[in-house]
Structure 1
Amino acid sequence: MKRHLVHLLLIVSCVNTIFAGVQIQQPTSKHDAAFAVIIDDKTYQKVSAEIRAYQAALEQDQLSTYLLIHSWKNPTEIREQIIRLRKQDGRLEGVVFIGDIPIPMIRDAQHLSSAFKIDQQGSYSWQKTSVPSDRFYEDFDLKFTFLKQDEENPLLFYYSLNAQSAQTIDKEIYSARMLPPVNDSTRYNLIRQYLNKVIDFKQHQQRLSHALFFTGHGYHSESLNAWAGEILGLREQFPQLFSHGRSLKTFYHSTDADLKMRLLNELQTEFLDLVVFHAHGGVDAQYILGNPPTVTIASQIEAVKLFIRNKLRAAKRKNNPIAEVKLDYMERYGVPLNWFDNAFDEAVMRQDSLFASKMDIYAEDVRKIAPQASLIIFDECFNGAFFQSRYIAGEYVFGSGSTVAAIANSVNVIQDIWANEFLGLLGFGLRLGQIHRLNTNLESHIIGDPTTCYQNDFSEYANILLSINEERLAECQDLLCSVHVPLRNLAVHQLAKTHSKNFEEQLIQIYETDPSFIVRTQAFKAIARQRSAAFETLLLKSIHDPYEFIRRKTVTLMGDVGESQFIAPLILSIASDPSRRVVFNARTALSKIEIQSQHVEAISSELSSVISVDMIQEILSNYAYSKAEWAKQELIPNILNDSLSVKKRIAAVRYFRNFRYHAAVDTLLDIVMSSEIGDDIRVALIEALGWFSYSKKREQIITTCAQLAKRKGYSKTVYTEAEKTKQRLLAGANNPLTP
């Protein structure tokens, strides 16, 4: 009897352990991969039965699953637990955070986001100027300094990215949030209902058979070529959806005047599996449609009146003088005074509100429907702001429909990301988290169950895909010959990541010979990461690529490199590329390159047979000379003008984070080393120069940062920022396609 009791106690101790006050329930079975559920103790008490059922479902999915239960005090203790568990069990591939789990709010790491560039030192709150990001938990090489806990929301903890940290993201694990879009006690019932929905999905898992892709207004510069290019890529990534009995629907915002209702109905279509939204967005809204086209003078006048009424209302909300707004429009555009009438009339305001509600999807719209897609991807700003209540991605996931997972952004996101990069792997049975682990943006998160996956159409590849690592590179090399585009795409990514420069020649060969747009884009991205002479040579070829997305990224990177050899190709692109988005990006790129008189003569001679000299001059005047003058005559003088406030001088500095004008680098470096400026402006300059990751002058910036480190007399923040900028430039852009 005594021996039996000892044996029982040993079993219990293996199942439940306590480490640093954290209750850890061990997996009930052993599999090739492991997973962890991290939950606060109060939520666990409320939904413990559903958590145990979820754990059992995960074990059925071949994941050895840990439960970590605690009254979590801060993100640091959670991160330490994850790292400890990963060291203890190398099979750990991901975690999910359920309930009130502390949220890291990241500062001083905007280069790790795709578009977030707000002024941290301005008048905005810390909540608004920080990025809620669980990269804090996923990438063990990132190093942070704790700053403070939020006074209003105790779940928010602010951290600064260290200069000694890695300056690009490379995640060891994936993660997700199960956090309902409410801030009251009803969230426990929502979690309970949601977990039951997830368990049911796992028990009745289906193949990925039906998908819907939507592109909203104002996206990709309204370029139909960009939209068509995406469809070509989808044909390669999801060939199975183009067979009988399956479907892939694509909607463009201008194809239907009543597209909002059409979309809401489509979202409720039975058997729908995947939805991807490309559009603008807010925390609780998806901005899907623009104002309808106006074809008569009367309708155009009414559209202008509506625009003006909205501007007046916005001015009132911001406490700006309404009379000044009216005067501005009257003087600049000759707007008649009576066009401002009724802006604050209740009936007119209600009518305008109803009109606006027909163009966008709001949180309250989602609550009235039952979306059927198990996975929804929001390539939209702010939809995944999970630290706020009523965030719209949460409305889909925790609503009454069948959605069990979403990918959404906690802050704004750039339009030109490669949103569908690895989506084709969903058809190969990969868990969503495994795919999202390849996403390096600071703002992108999974909401819901990260282990969501579909039945595998190609089961013979599953084990290889689940365990590709440095020990299995031979198998990865074999995948380069696969007939399946998503597998070749993944193989290029993995091999390039492991082999680095030793793989460059093969990458160039893949780019030049592979028949797939997707695979060649992956090769192009990997070559761009090298920032080599071969990469710059490739840009002269890729600007003529048949795939619109490659051309779009090529012109952007030409501007960021800044070599004069790219001037003529950019002018030709502006004059002749059929994609409005490529043209838009080419104009921006041209503005970053210094144009000298000898360049103009050579360009005119080179392009005279295809573009008139007058057009060349017009392009240079509109998109190169004007920006150069702006930098030389306004921005740099404002930085040096000590009669201006420090705030205005730093504002001038910050323009160079996006407008990376290479000809200004020498002057900016001289200012950095000058004794005539204060350290606050010096720090802003050093940080701005860290965005020149592709610049032909990046070595000069690195050298100056090294020299600063040897000088005495600066504040600690100067040395810290100089080290960070140096490390950023040595590492390169976090995402080579969105520098």
Structure 2
Amino acid sequence: MKTIISIILAVTASSAVTAAVVIDKPTGEICPTSFAIITDSMTYEATRSSMLRYRDALQNDGLATYIIRDNWTTPSLVREALIDLYKSDSCLEGIVLVGDVPVAMVRNAQHMTTAFKMDEENYPFIDSSVPSDRFYDCLDLEFRYLHQDEENPYLHYYELKEDCPQRLEPTFYSARIRYPHLRGGDKYKEIAAFLDKAAAAKTDMAVDRVDRVVSFNGHGYNGDCLIAWMDEEKAYKEHFPEAFTSATGFKHWNFRMLEPMKHRIFSELERPGIDLFMFHEHGAPTTQYINGFGEADKFDDRVRHFRQDIYSRVRRAISKGNPRDEVIDAFAKEFNLTSTFFADFDNSDLIARDSSEVAAKDIYAEEFHDRVTMPRMVMFDACYNGSFHEDDYIAGEYIFNPGATVVTQGNTRNVLQDRWTIEMIGLLSHGVRAGQYNRLVATLEGHMIGDPTMHFAPLQSNTLSSALTLHRDDESYWESLLDSPYADVRSLALRMLSHLVPESSFSPRLLEVFRSSPFCTTRMEALKLLGVYSNDEFREAVRMGINDPYERIARMSADLAGEIGDVSLLPAVVAAYIDGGERQRVNYTLSNSLALFPREDVMRCIDNYYVMNPRYNFEEEKKAVIDGLARTFEFAEDYNKRIVDKSLDDRKRISAIRFVRNNPYHFNIDSYLAVISDDGNSDAVRVNMAEALGWFRYSSRKGEIIDYCRRMVDDTSLPPALSAELIQTAGRLQ
């Protein structure tokens, strides 16, 4: 809190909010916490009556509500207004950005995303920046303004400063209400209609508990691992206990259940009474990938699927302006295809049939132009579905229809599949506002679309939602919730206490929670919080977690073991890798983690395992295990050689360095530090190497990296870009 206030004072001292900003203060009775509607002047004038109804509904729901409007020209002006507001009202719990409020496109902050790692130097700004409202709700972050987008003046590019905090801890929650232009119609009428819908929903939802939930896993998600999919039901029972009191209260769907699945999904989306619908899938701004081509039992079906796939890819390449014959020749060479394979490429009947079959596999934004969606909240655990900066986007289509959906959660960029996507989701069962929940799981790309103040009736009366603002620093309050009968309440208490209690006393408590809690999601939260400390208790929890009965904990532990790189974890990793093949996604993660340890140590552990665990035909099995890992180790060795090879051009070396961002080879850290120290390397190579070390967040050797960075920045002869990167890397690892 002190950090935020100091930044606020510094900013407000150097710049004042333009006099054109109009602030309508809350009316009516005093409420414990407050909320702000941020909008542009034209949207306000065009939707005024609906916006006031929405404001009144929020105030009746316990939120003192401001309306702040201006003809905003840059995100900086909006941020200054928010800083000024928070300075005067620290009980502000959230905001919603309505209409044409400018978008900050954030750079130099990919470590705050879950997966986005596009090269900012070699790709256009529009593609390599992250549209993010963390610019507005994380007041402790600091940014440099770069420029406005030339084609879309609504977008503005900013760069995260290297010497500011490097982790996301939103000051308040936020959401967007922006109309997807390609939907057609009058955007102001549609925004007004949504505000009216959100206002009316407050009355209906006052008694609506979370007792009807649907979860769907699409094709290719988590490697299509059925155990990963099935095991999540353990967590869902903790998150949504009332949904499991009837046969149809919780529906756990998978793309394999029907081919195609989209029509059943449409039917379910139109069913009244659904509280929450969760999509776990792959996605694009205007597409939800549902079925894929699936598995074919017959040879002819496999050939047909292959032909459809190749024809589709060829047509897509041609549509981008590539010469037809060259594209066909390129695909023929790549897949060893004869000319007869393309004999039906122009067959109009086949094209129509293929198009119809392919279209049935996925869900497209335009299909919601004449449909309704009824779930109150929809989660898109998918890439790009929340791209509110685009002219059309899936998450927007779900709220701007006459159905009951008032809020969605989606991502503006690609998102990591193996992240813990349902962390804290059960807080919705306890009346916590959707925005408060989203604030607790913040990523740079993750956003709420719609009304973030939406909440359900709680299982038991409580003040949790407002307590997240009013009792943020109240240690005794959160201690009192540790014995709650509900998993998510315990998890929330642990999270809040982790910011208040010293590591020396809280870390052992977290390890005990991990060992003994009856709730798998609370144990998962304890493991995640221990990761902040990266200490002995954390390593012990990871060692235990590799064989955890809850697949999600085992998968996270498998990943963390490699991220830590402590050889004491190797016996557990090797044993799980050899014995646990049925957990497909866990085993995949274990194989990746093994490559992050020294090869000789891994081979020694494999030898020891078979000595201690004699089994039938062990020599053949052992050879298969070693052969299966060989390519992974060779791949790692090749990349590490390229990093230090000065005979290669910078492009190839930097490509290898960027690979290290996802693969922290701890045993090679000395070599990486030497690359940075060597002024015979180009500035670009040295800067990229320093940046890559910032991804060693859990490394058992991260202390060495931090110390090195701090020593190096004292060298005044360093290139400024390298000094800045070293400062940022040290900050990221702290």
TM-score, normalised to structure 2's length? 0.93
2:707 to 703, 707, 719: 703
**Partners of 2:472 and 2:317 in 1: CA distance:** 57
2:411 to 409, 412, 428: 409
Which amino acid letter does the alignment assign opposite residue 542 of structure 1? G
Which residue pairs with 1:227 in the alignment?
A: 229
**Partners of 2:719 and 2:223 in 1: CA distance:** 44
**Cα distance, 1:315 vs structure 2:** 3.4
Secondary structure of the equivalent of 1:710?
A: coil
Task: Give a deviation string over 1:377-407, Cα, whole Å, max 9, x none.
Answer: 1001100100001111100111221111101
Q: Is the 8 A contact 1:43 1:99 kept in 2?
A: yes
Q: Is the 8 A contact 1:594 1:663 kept in 2?
A: yes
Which residue pairs with 1:558 in the alignment?
A: 561
Which amino acid letter does the alignment assign opposite residue 450 of structure 1? P
Q: 1:610 to 1:133 in 2, by over 3 A?
A: farther
More displaced stretch, 612-621 vs 555-564: 612-621
Which residue pairs with 1:82 in the alignment?
A: 82
Which residue pairs with 1:377 in the alignment?
A: 379
Which amino acid letter does the alignment assign opposite residue 663 of structure 1? F
Task: Give a deviation string over 1:650-708, Cα, whole Å, max 9, x none.
Answer: 22221111122223322121111112211011111111111111122222322332232
**Partners of 1:682 and 1:638 in 2: CA distance:** 10
| Residue 625 of structure 2 corresponds to residue 619 of structure 1 | yes
1:313 to 315, 334, 340: 315
Counting only pairs closer than 5 Å after superposition, residues 32-431 of structure 1 correspond to structure 2 as 32-122=32-122, 124-182=123-181, 186-205=186-205, 206-244=208-246, 247-318=249-320, 334-431=336-433
**Partners of 1:678 and 1:261 in 2: CA distance:** 56
Q: 1:650 to 1:466 in 2, by over 3 A?
A: closer
More displaced stretch, 630-639 vs 669-678: 630-639
**Cα distance, 1:164 vs structure 2:** 1.1
Secondary structure of the equivalent of 2:39?
A: strand
Secondary structure of the equivalent of 2:101?
A: coil
Which amino acid letter does the alignment assign opposite residue 497 of structure 2? L
Q: Is the 8 A contact 1:313 1:343 kept in 2?
A: no
**Partners of 1:243 and 1:402 in 2: CA distance:** 23
| Residue 653 of structure 2 corresponds to residue 654 of structure 1 | no
Percent identity over the alignment is 31
| Residue 536 of structure 2 corresponds to residue 533 of structure 1 | yes
Which residue pairs with 1:8 in the alignment?
A: none
Q: Is the 8 A contact 2:32 2:466 kept in 1?
A: no
Q: Is the 8 A contact 2:283 2:289 kept in 1?
A: yes
1:503 to 503, 506, 514: 506
Q: 1:344 to 1:131 in 2, by over 3 A?
A: farther
Q: Is the 8 A contact 1:116 1:412 kept in 2?
A: yes
**Cα distance, 1:140 vs structure 2:** 1.1
**Partners of 2:631 and 2:675 in 1: CA distance:** 23
Q: 1:468 to 1:480 in 2, by over 3 A?
A: farther
More displaced stretch, 698-707 vs 186-195: 698-707
**Partners of 2:47 and 2:225 in 1: CA distance:** 48
**Partners of 1:558 and 1:344 in 2: CA distance:** 52
Which amino acid letter does the alignment assign opposite residue 700 of structure 2? K
2:667 to 663, 672, 690: 663
2:519 to 516, 532, 555: 516
Secondary structure of the equivalent of 2:447?
A: strand
**Partners of 1:637 and 1:584 in 2: CA distance:** 26
**Cα distance, 1:138 vs structure 2:** 0.8
Which residue pairs with 2:577 in the alignment?
A: 574
Which residue pairs with 2:449 in the alignment?
A: 447
Task: Give a deviation string over 1:319-352, Cα, whole Å, max 9, x none.
Answer: 5576666566656654443223333444433322
Secondary structure of the equivalent of 1:204?
A: helix
Q: 1:668 to 1:46 in 2, by over 3 A?
A: same
Q: Is the 8 A contact 2:565 2:700 kept in 1?
A: yes
Which residue pairs with 2:3 in the alignment?
A: none
Q: 1:437 to 1:513 in 2, by over 3 A?
A: same
| Residue 544 of structure 2 corresponds to residue 545 of structure 1 | no
**Cα distance, 1:610 vs structure 2:** 5.5
1:604 to 602, 607, 619: 607
**Partners of 2:335 and 2:42 in 1: CA distance:** 59
**Partners of 2:318 and 2:573 in 1: CA distance:** 43
Task: Give a deviation string over 1:170-213, Cα, whole Å, max 9, x none.
Answer: 11100110101117771111101111111111122222221111
**Partners of 1:637 and 1:511 in 2: CA distance:** 41
Structure 1: gaps (5+ residues): 1-17, 731-739
Which amino acid letter does the alignment assign opposite residue 595 of structure 1? R
Q: 1:469 to 1:323 in 2, by over 3 A?
A: same
**Partners of 1:180 and 1:339 in 2: CA distance:** 44
Q: 1:664 to 1:618 in 2, by over 3 A?
A: farther
Which amino acid letter does the alignment assign opposite residue 672 of structure 2? L
**Cα distance, 1:473 vs structure 2:** 2.2
Q: Is the 8 A contact 1:176 1:446 kept in 2?
A: yes
**Cα distance, 1:311 vs structure 2:** 3.0
Secondary structure of the equivalent of 2:125?
A: coil
Q: 1:195 to 1:130 in 2, by over 3 A?
A: same
**Cα distance, 1:141 vs structure 2:** 1.1
Q: Is the 8 A contact 1:639 1:653 kept in 2?
A: no
Q: Is the 8 A contact 2:262 2:361 kept in 1?
A: yes
| Residue 645 of structure 2 corresponds to residue 640 of structure 1 | yes
Secondary structure of the equivalent of 1:498?
A: coil
More displaced stretch, 105-114 vs 411-420: 411-420
Number of equivalent positions: 709
**Cα distance, 1:228 vs structure 2:** 1.3
Q: Is the 8 A contact 2:642 2:652 kept in 1?
A: no
Counting only pairs closer than 5 Å after superposition, residues 450-489 of structure 1 correspond to structure 2 as 450-460=452-462, 462=464, 465-466=467-468, 469-489=471-491
Secondary structure of the equivalent of 1:437?
A: helix
